[in-house]
Chain A
Amino acid sequence: MIFSTELVKGTLKTIVLKLLEDNTKMYGYEITQTVKEMTGERIQITEGALYPTLHALESEGLLTTETEYIGKRMRKYYSLSQKGKGATRERVNELADFMNTMNMLLNLEPKKA
C-alpha cells in the first residue's frame, strides 16, 4: 500500500531535513529514490511536492546549496545549514510527539493500566 499524498505532505519537510542530516548532501532525484528504497516504495515523494519544499526550506535559511555541472545540465546539491541542523532536531521531536499523540487519539495501542 502506498500512503496518500495528503498524509505525506505534512511531514515532507521533516523527512527531507532528516535525510540531509544523515547523508550530508543530496540532490532532488536522489532524495526521492532514497525515500522509496527506505520505505519499500510505500512512500513515494512526488516531484510536484519535493521541489517547492526544497525551495521553501532554502529560502527559510535551513538549507545551503552547491551546484555541479554534468555536461550541459546543472545538478543542485542540498545540505543542512547551521540553522537547519537545529531545526531538524526540533521537527523530528515534534513529529515523534505528534505520532505518540495520534497513537493515543486513535487508540492504536492498548491502554496501559
Chain B
Amino acid sequence: MYQLSDAQVEYILNDIRRNGVDMEDLQLNLLDHICCIIEHNLGDKDDFEGFYRQTIKQFYNRELREIEDETIQLLTFKNYYAMKRLMMASGIFSTLAFISGSLFKWMHWPGAGIMLVLGIVTFSLIFLPLMFALKTKEINGAQDKLITGLGFLLGMMHCMGILFKVQHWPGANILMFGGIIGLAFLFIPLYFFNGYRQPEKRFNTILTTIILIAVAGSQFTLMRVHKPQANEVRIQAEVQK
C-alpha cells in the first residue's frame, strides 16, 4: 500500500480547491476518497502526480466543479415538493384575496385595503419568487435564466406599483413606470431576440411577445388616462360654462 506524505495530501487538497470546489465538507470528502484510491492502487515506485491526474479525471465529465454544482442543486431542491405546494397555495390565496379585495373596494365595504395588500404582497413576494426558483430548474443556459429572472423582477415591481397606487402610497408611479419601461425596452427585446434565435421556441416567442407588447401598451395607456391633465380639466370646466 502506497504511503502518502503530508505534502502530497496538501497538494491534492489545494488542487481540489483550485478547481472550484468551495464547500469544505465536500473538499474533505473528495480528498479522503482520492487518497484512498491512490493508497490502494499506486505502487511504491509509481509516479504520484501522473496517477493523481489520471484518477481525478474520472470524477467528472467537464470539470471538478460539477460535483459541487450537483450537490448545491440537490440541497436547494430537497424541498422541491414543499416549495411547489407553497407556490400553489400562495397563488390561490393571493387570487382570492385580490378578487374579494377589489369587490370590497368597489362596494366601499370595510376590509378592502387589508385584503388587497395581503393579496398583492403574497403574489409578488411569495408566489412570483417561488415560481422563479422552480422555473429556473427547468431552464438550461445562463442567458435564459437571466432573462427569466429579469422578467420576474419587473413583474414583482409592477405588482408592487399597483398596490402602492391603490393604497395611495408614495412612489407608486416610479414602481409602475419602472416596471413598464423595463418591460417594454429591456425585457421584451431581450426575450424576443433570445427566443427567436432558437428555432424550437420561435413560434411561442412571437406569440408571447405580441401579448407582452399588448399588456405593456394597455397598462401604459391606463396609467396615462387615469388622471386627467390640469389643462384638460380647465378646458372641460370652460366647456361646461
Contact = CB atoms under 8 A, between A and B. Distances in A.
B74 A71 contact: no
A81 to B, nearest CB: 15
B74 A52 contact: yes
Given A48-B59, A72-B10, A60 B78 contact: yes
A91 to B, nearest CB: 15
Interface string A19-45: 000000001110010000000000000
A55 to B, nearest CB: 5
A56 B71 contact: yes
Contact of A55 (B4, B36, B66, B74): B74
Contact of A72 (B6, B67, B73): B6
Interface size class of B (residues with CB under 8 A): 20 to 34
A51 interface: yes
Contact of B67 (A51, A56, A71): A51
B32 A28 contact: yes
Contacts of B32: 27-29, 70, 73-76
B33 A47 contact: yes
A16 interface: no
Interface residues of A, number: 23
A71 B3 CA distance: 11
Interface string B8-36: 01100100000000000110111111011
A51 B29 CA distance: 8
B35 A73 contact: yes
A48 B32 CA distance: 14
Contacts of A73: 9, 13, 28, 31-32, 35
Given A28-B29, A70-B32, A73-B28, 13 more contacts: A27-B32, A48-B61, A51-B26, A51-B67, A52-B70, A52-B74, A54-B29, A55-B74, A56-B75, A59-B78, A73-B31, A73-B35, A74-B28
24 contacts: A27-B32, A28-B29, A28-B32, A28-B33, A29-B32, A29-B36, A29-B37, A47-B33, A47-B59, A48-B66, A51-B71, A52-B70, A53-B74, A55-B26, A55-B74, A56-B71, A59-B75, A73-B13, A73-B31, A73-B32, A73-B35, A74-B32, A76-B29, A76-B32
For the complex of A and B, the 4 pairs showing the least CB-CB separation, nearest first, are A29-B36, A56-B74, A52-B71, A52-B70
